[in-house]
């Protein structure tokens, strides 16, 4: 992330997931697009509320799995027929039923690694620094028992004073400014 200065956004704190979902739905309907919710556990309704419906993790996993499958099956075929053919009890060198098992394991191995590391990459993790960690109340509650809505300064509608007043209408516990 390039170094930035100024305001990252305004962070509203809520006590319950229902308050957060209601606020997020309202903000989305009122035209906010650069916004995010922060919750201590997955809240599907909050993701729906900010318009995040699908992600690319399944695609990454599928591609990884297929690559594992093709890689191991071709390796086995090449090794057994060309590189190092062995006569095992007179069986054909291309004994594909036996090759299925390592190929199956590698499908799972690479699909699983793609799912895990693809998820992290799509999330932009690891990212040890994030401006939100500067907010005084964020680290005290975001992964414990508090629910946050952040309207980001990159949104064209963002204006420090107006947006703060807007967030106050959503009945949060508090609204704080987050700096880079």
Partner 1 sequence: MATSELKPGNPDHGRWIDPATGEFRVLEPGQTFKSVTAKISDIVLTPHTPLGWFALFGIGGAVATFLLTAVTWLFLKGTGIWAVTQPVAWGFAIINFVWWIGIGHAGTLISAILLLFKQGWRNSINRFAEAMTIFAVVCAGMFPLIHVGRPWLGYWLLPYPNSMTVWPQFRSPLLWDVFAVSTYATISVVFWYIGMVPDFGTMRDRAKTPIAQYFYGLISLGWRGSVRHWMRYETASLLLAGLATPLVLSVHTVISFDFAVATLPGWHTTIFPPYFVAGAIYSGFAMVLTLAIPLRKFYHLEALVTERHIDNMGKVMLATGLIVAYGYGMEVFMAWYSASHWEYFMMWNRMFGPMGWSYGVLIFCNIAFPLTTLWVRKLRTNIGFMFLISIVVNTGMWFERFVIVVTSLYRDYLPSSWGTYRATKWDFMTYIGTLGLFTALFLLFVRFLPMIPMNEIKMMLPGAKIKPKEAVAGESH
From 2-10, 18-26, 157-165, 172-180, give the range in contact with partner 1 by CB under 8 A: 18-26
Q: Is 179 in the site for partner 1 (CB under 8 A)?
A: no
Residues 107-166 that bind partner 1 (CB under 8 A): 108-109, 111-113, 115-116, 118-120, 122-123, 125-130, 132-133, 138-140, 142-145
Q: Minimum CB separation from partner 1 for residue 21, in Å?
A: 5
20 phi-psi bin (left φ>0, alpha ψ -120 to 50, beta other): alpha
Q: How many CA atoms lie less than 13 Å away from 35 in the CB half-sphere?
A: 32
Q: Is 40 in the site for partner 1 (CB under 8 A)?
A: yes
Spatial CA neighbour of 147 closest among 64, 49, 56: 49
Contacts of 65 (CB under 8 A, 6+ apart): 107, 108, 110, 111, 114
Q: Is 63 in the site for partner 1 (CB under 8 A)?
A: no
* Helix or strand (DSSP H, E) at 98: helix 96-122
Q: Which of 4, 18, 159, 160 binds partner 1 (CB under 8 A)?
A: 18
Q: Is 47 in the site for partner 1 (CB under 8 A)?
A: yes
């Amino acid at each position: 992330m390039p170094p930035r200065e100024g305001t990252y956004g305004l962070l509203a704190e809520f006590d319950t997931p229902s308050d957060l979902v209601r606020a997020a739905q309202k903000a989305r309907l009122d035209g906010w697009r650069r916004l995010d919710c922060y919750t201590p556990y997955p809240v599907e309704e909050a993701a729906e509320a900010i318009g995040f419906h699908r992600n690319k993790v399944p695609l990454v996993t599928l591609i990884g799995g297929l690559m594992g499958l093709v890689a191991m099956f071709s390796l086995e075929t090449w090794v057994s027929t060309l590189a190092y053919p062995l006569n095992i009890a007179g069986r054909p060198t291309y004994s594909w039923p036996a090759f299925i098992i390592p190929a199956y394991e590698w499908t799972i191995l690479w699909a699983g690694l793609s799912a895990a590391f693809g998820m992290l990459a799509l999330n932009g993790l690891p990212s040890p620094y994030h401006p939100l960690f500067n907010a005084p109340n964020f680290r005290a509650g975001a992964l414990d028992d508090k629910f946050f809505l952040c309207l980001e300064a990159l949104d064209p509608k963002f204006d420090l004073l107006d947006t703060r007043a807007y967030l106050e209408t959503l009945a949060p516990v508090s609204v704080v400014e987050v700096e880079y």
